[in-house]
Chains A and B, each alone.
Chain A
Amino acid sequence: MAAGVAAWLPFARAAAIGWMPVANLPMPVAPTEKNKKQDELIVLNVSGRRFQTWKNTLDRYPDTLLGSSEKEFFYNEETKEYFFDRDPDVFRSVLNFYRTGKLHYPRYECILSYDEELAFFGIVPEIIGDCCYEEYKDRKRENAERLMDDQEDNKDSKLPNMTFRETMWRAFENPQTSTMALVFYYVTGFFIAVSVMTNVVETVPCGSVPNQKEVPCGERYTVAFFCMDTACVMIFTVEYLMRLFAAPNRYRFMRSVMSIIDVVAILPYYIGLVMTDNEDVSGAFVTLRVFRVFRIFKFSRHSQGLRILGYTLKSCASELGFLLFSLTMAIIIFATVMFYAEKGSSSSKFTSIPASFWYTIVTMTTLGYGDMVPKTIAGKIFGSICSLSGVLVIALPVPVIVSNFSRIYHQNQRADKRRAQKVQKARLARIRLTKTESSSAFLHSKRNGLFNEALELTQLPYKMSLSEQSSTKEEQHLGKSSSLLESQHHHLLHCLEKTTNHEFVDEQYYQQSYLEGGLQNYPQRSPSLSSQDGVTGTCCSRRNKKHNTPLRNASGPAHMQPLTHTQTHNRGLQELSTIHIQPLSTSRSSLNMRIDEPASLNCQSSQITTAIISIPTPPVTTPEGDAHLPTGPSHQNVVKVSAL
């Protein structure tokens, strides 16, 4: 329930008068206010600055420091105020959160101090309102990156016991670590440059054989070039194998971009070795040589800027995609228009629409080769519009890419947006969780409240000593956990249930019961059980978590047994129905059994006995229900299916 409208709860409860004459069942008892004090002002002294607010305002969020009894630790008896030795400026935002229900992040505040204050007062940062959330996240990310940059600078200290393999890997990744690494770094760089130069020079014509046509150098000095190529490929292969050996995670290394580039760079040579000088395959062989140019990408290990450029292009994929898409659209439109415009003129170069593509691209990128020119008036008009729009379409997405590059370059960060997306998902999940908590909170406390109610209703005659302990523990436990506001809200929802003669259940159970129509025969048991299961997961995990559950269960049926009999006689509709398998005398032994038994039996018995839910059933089905109870297996099968 939104705490901001807590003040309207009396109104909502009053509005329930519309349900009363309609309801066929009696309403549940309203929660009483034990100490009905008038609302009082609280003074919060934060480092000398006094803030005052109503006590009710702070009670809106009971799971924070100011809303719970934790603030009593800070109470100052002499001055009758709560003293906090914290920053008063940030406290303003914190207190406004209680007042308005929205948490704002002041821009001038340092992110770390703000986070500390929030953590101190027990407020989760995820509830920062949308107006300030982006700013908060950006500042947080910048701060995290700054921390990481500082950390990276301190990584130079040599760690003692590193294996040879780890030393090698560190040497490869970070050339500044040792002289050997630096030498290796420069040698590989040199050989990459040599290899690329060789490929380039190979094609330059250096013919000086007089009466023949010019031949490229590659064919003239075949052997020399071949030796050079072999040497480079040897070095590259050795380097690749060494990296593969040193990599901590070989599979991941082999999938990384750099290693793929390495492989592609050296493969053509080996394929060329394997293939013979066949005429048929020489065409393919020539194509393979093209891939040798990929060696130039190996330079990206040596240049930080190149890596950042590659990362920027990857991260701006959406802008690039938009650019491409809009360009394609414009090209097709203008090509079509130009084709039809120029169709009339004779000897037009615009022979087809695809032929017009070339003209459109050249015009839109303002190249203007002049090999295709429109001759008609319409063609010229549309051509000019084409070139004007080309400038616009290309100029629009480019600044986005540029700003991205500059941001990444300045921050020197990798995988930034990916992390932000994960956190965004986590944040949305948490917000969704708090929203569904309000409805599931009612279901939870409905069961707790019913136990409490049932225990209150059953007075002395059938109380066993065991249950006395458990009931007082119950009341204490419940008194602590739910505030008056919560209990009143739950009472309201309870009245609605009584009015309409239906119950609230959670989504999971509803799906299950909707799919399996066959649960109609066992209305008493299955829904209660699987609703509990649905909320808490598995029956066994529930048993593990709350070990006082069996106590309650034991006391429950023991008391309910006589009560249901009297109730069925007195009232037309039964308010509380229970499943009691064991008679009263053996409940104690069954209690022991429940605790000691192994998992499966414990699950079953705890499932069956925790069916204390007020389900209105006509009295005629009760004896049937009891009679059906001994038919354990089929019934349990049904339960187990729904528990899944």
Chain B
Amino acid sequence: MLNLDGLEIIAVLVVMALFIKVLEQFGMFEPVGGEDSIEDDFELSTVCHRPESMDKLEELTKFTKKELQVLYRGFKNECPSGVVNEDNFKTIYSQFFPQGDSSMYAHFLFEAFDTNKNGSVSFEDFVFGLSIILRGTINDRLNWAFNLYDLNKDGCITKEEMLDIMKSIYDMMGKCTYPTMQEDAPLEHVESFFQKMDQNKDGVVTIEEFIESCKKDENIMQSMQLFDNVI
């Protein structure tokens, strides 16, 4: 019998391993397992979505045909597949705010635009949202804003929800600001917001309180007029 020392065993094992590899090369020895999963990824990205006809959209929104054309051209340019997913949305939005981090606010916007909650914003969702903001009445706009703030869509804004929104807005400013951004700036802002909006002081702001307080505030009313001329 061969007197194999420790190292000799290792040597023999190495030789056997090399032998198996050579057999694999010749295709005589299929290794167990190892499915090919690379090809599966290709199928997901060819989803294509076509919007409704322009006539229908013109009925449903308050945009003219020409405005819809301009909007669709811009939309399709950035998203050739016809829908925007959340990452794409965040990328597009972040190009407008180079200094800060706009991903959180873009996430909230995405939630607000994606009305049927299917994880992607189609052209119809996009245009419906824009129609409310740019061509809606003051009540519509305030409703939409309330919907944006109400993260869990339960009809009232709590302090935590407002704090998240506020932080996301402040994040967009980034680091280099004057005066230097303090840690509690969002919290203070939330406090002052609640002081103004929460009339019955129950810790949440309902839709009626919100609309009422906004209508009383001249600044907010004036700023709502800004959206009339965007397109």
Contacts and interface: CB of A to CB of B under 8 A. Distances in A.
Contacts of A496: 97, 169, 172-173
Contacts of B149: 18, 21
Contacts of B204: none
Interface string B72-92: 011101100000000000001
Q: How large is the interface on A (under 10, 10 to 19, 20 to 34, 35 or more residues)?
A: 35 or more
A381 B14 contact: yes
A22 B169 contact: yes
Nearest to A571: B219
Given A10-B231, A22-B189, A513-B180, A5 B95 contact: yes
Interface string B93-111: 1011111000001001100
Contacts of A499: 169
A9 interface: yes
Interface string A364-384: 000000000000111001100
B68 interface: no
Contacts, number: 177
B148 to A, nearest CB: 5
Interface in A488-524: 489, 492-493, 495-497, 499-507, 509-510, 513-514, 523
A8 interface: yes
A33 interface: yes
B68 to A, nearest CB: 12
A4 interface: yes
A12 B177 CA distance: 21
A514 B180 contact: yes
Q: How large is the interface on B (under 10, 10 to 19, 20 to 34, 35 or more residues)?
A: 35 or more
Nearest to A513: B180
Contacts of A438: 98
Interface string B195-215: 001000000000000100010
Contacts of A435: 98
B77 A507 contact: no
Interface stretch (B19-27, B39-47, B51-59, B126-134): B126-134
A582 B92 CA distance: 48
B223 A11 contact: no
Contacts of A504: 99, 173-174, 176-178
A7 B144 contact: no
B226 A27 contact: yes
Contacts of B71: 10
Contacts of A500: 169-170, 173, 185, 189
A4 B109 contact: no
Nearest to A382: B11
A475 to B, nearest CB: 20
A344 B178 CA distance: 76
Given A10-B130, A20-B220, A531 B178 contact: yes
B37 interface: no
B7 interface: yes
A267 interface: no
A12 to B, nearest CB: 5
B165 interface: yes
Given A12-B93, A32-B229, A381-B15, A502 B178 contact: yes
Contacts of B49: none
A316 to B, nearest CB: 32
Given A2-B95, A12-B93, A39-B70, A19 B169 contact: yes
Nearest to B15: A381
Interface in B101-143: 105, 108-109, 126, 129-130, 133-134, 141-142
A25 B178 CA distance: 16
B192 interface: yes
B5 A11 contact: no
Contacts of B126: 11
Contacts of B144: 17
Contacts of B223: 20, 23, 26-27, 495
Contacts of B99: 439, 504
B220 A502 contact: no
B97 to A, nearest CB: 7
A344 B220 contact: no
Contacts of B214: 21
Contact of A26 (B8, B148, B219): B219
B11 A14 contact: no
A340 interface: yes
A17 B74 contact: no
Interface of A is mostly: helix
A509 B177 CA distance: 9
B181 interface: yes
B222 A27 contact: yes
A263 to B, nearest CB: 54
Contacts of B95: 1-2, 5
B31 to A, nearest CB: 22
A473 interface: no
A12 B172 CA distance: 13
Contacts of B141: 17
Contact of B177 (A13, A344, A502): A502
Given A20-B220, A507-B176, A514-B180, A493 B108 contact: no
Contacts of B8: 341, 376-378
A20 to B, nearest CB: 4
Interface string A541-573: 000000000000000000000000000000000
A39 B141 CA distance: 27
B213 to A, nearest CB: 8
Nearest to B190: A22
A507 B176 CA distance: 6
A385 interface: yes
Contact of B66 (A26, A38, A495, A501): A38
A13 B231 CA distance: 10
Contacts of B66: 38
B181 A30 contact: no
A64 B3 CA distance: 83
A460 interface: no
18 contacts: A7-B70, A12-B93, A13-B227, A14-B129, A14-B230, A17-B224, A20-B226, A21-B214, A24-B192, A341-B7, A376-B8, A439-B98, A502-B179, A506-B176, A510-B176, A510-B177, A514-B180, A523-B179
Interface of B: 5, 7-8, 10-12, 14-15, 66, 70-71, 73-75, 77-78, 92-93, 95-99, 105, 108-109, 126, 129-130, 133-134, 141-142, 144-145, 148-149, 165-166, 169-170, 172-181, 185, 189, 192-193, 197, 210, 214, 219-220, 222-224, 226-227, 229-231
- List 6 tightest A-B contacts by C-beta distance, closest first: A7-B74, A510-B176, A378-B11, A27-B223, A378-B8, A502-B177
Given A14-B130, A21-B149, 4 more contacts: A13-B230, A18-B108, A378-B8, A495-B223
